[in-house]
Amino acid sequence: MTEPLMPVTTPKEKVFRITFGQRYRSETHPAGDWITPDGYVIIVADTEQLARAKADEVFGKSRWAFIYDHLDVERGRFNPKNKHYKLGVLAVYFA
């Protein structure tokens, strides 16, 4: 599955999706007011550990909620088209 802002040639195994907690619906995220639970960020990385490190670097430790990989999408644990993510992809980062 391809998503906006991400090169279509990116292997799905390197795509990690980061979500944000409900607290950022009423509170400004330290990384900026564009961070909202209504969207998610993609981090392209070789491993989940590298994606987590990049998320901590960009957003701050404990300033994001969950990380999902391609298996979460395939198994239905994370659905990018879910109504809760009405803004879709907020940004793409590369680790």
pLDDT of 8-54, one tens digit each?
889 999 999 999 999 999 999 999 999 999 999 999 999 999 999 99
Which class for 37: exposed (0-12), middle (13-18), buried (19 or more C-beta within 10 A)? Answer: middle
Q: Are strands 88-94 and 39-44 parallel, antiparallel or unpaired?
A: parallel
Residues present in the chain in total: 95
Say if residue 71's pLDDT is above 60: yes
For the segment 61-86, the average pLDDT, to the nearest whole number, is 95
The whole-model pTM stands at: 0.92
At residue 48, the pLDDT reads 98
Q: What is the pLDDT of residue 8?
A: 82
